[in-house]
Amino acid sequence: MLVKTFKTIPDSTVSGSISSRSPRATTVLRRPYFWKSDPGIDTPDLQACQAEFPLSSAETAAKFEVPEFGWTWSSAVVRPKSRGHICLTGPDPLDPVQIEANMLFHPDDLKAAIAGVQLCREIGNSAALGPFVKREVMPGNLKGAELERFVRDATVSYWHQTCTAKMGQDAMSVVDGQLKVYGIEHLRIADGSIMARVTTGNTMAPCVIIGERAAQILKAQHTL
C-alpha cells in the first residue's frame, strides 16, 4: 500500500454578473489567497480562489439550480491529514490500479473544509461584492449536519496527487536521496510522488525543482 494525498475543494458558489465581459471568462481562476481555518494553527491550511464560472460537483449540481453563467469562491484544504491508498489489481503491469482517495476521512479535514466554505460565503456575500452578486446559489445558510453533507457532496480532487513513492528511510519509503527506487537497479523517480507530504502551495514549482535535481544527479553520475 502506498500513501496518496489529495487536496479537496468544497465549493461555495455565488452567482452574479460578470460586468461587461462576455459570458466566457477571460481567465479561469483569479485572486487566490491562503488562510487559516483556526487561528491557533501554525501555518495556513486553506487556499481559496475565485473562478469566473459556476463550479459544482455532480452531486451539488443535481441539488441546486446552478445557472449557466456566474462566478464561484472555492476553498481548498491544502494541508490534509486524510490519507488514501493505491492497490494493485493483478500481476500484469498493465492491470489498472485501484485508487482510494479517502478524502475527508480525518475529522480535522472536514472541520477545515467547513471553515473554508463559511469564509467563502462571508466574502461572497460581503458589501464590497454586492454590486456583482445577483443571488447566492449554494450552499446558503446551512448549519450542522446539512452543511457537513454539502461539504461531502461538493468535495472534488484538487489534482495535486502526490506522495505515492515518498523519499525517505522508513518502511514506507520508495526512493532514497538520489531518487533511486529501493530494490530496483537503474530506476529513479522524479515527480511529485516522492514528496513525503503534499506542499501547501501548488505542486507545479516543486515538481520542476525535483526534475532539475534529477537532471543534476544524472549529469554528475554520467559526466554529461
Q: HSE of 159 in the Cβ direction (CA atoms, 13 Å)?
A: 1
Contact predicate 8/109, CB 8 Å: yes
- First CA to last CA distance, the chain: 37
Inter-CA distances, 156 with 11, 48, 75, 132, 182, Å: 9, 14, 11, 26, 33
- Asked if 60 contacts 154 with a C-beta cutoff of 8 angstroms, the reply is yes
Q: Which of 85, 160, 186, 222 is catalytic?
A: 160
Q: Could you tell me which residues are beta bridge partners of residue 164?
A: none
CA atoms within 13 Å, Cβ hemisphere of 56: 22
State whether residue 216 is helix, strand or coil: helix
Instruction: Mark whether 222 is an active-site residue.
Output: no
Q: Where are the alpha helices (DSSP H) in 19-96?
A: 58-63
Grid cell at residue 45 = 491550511
Strand partners, 208: none
| Nearest by Cα to 78 from 147, 140, 158 | 158
Alpha helices in 93-197 (DSSP H): 107-124, 144-154
Query: Which residues are the active-site residues?
Result: 160
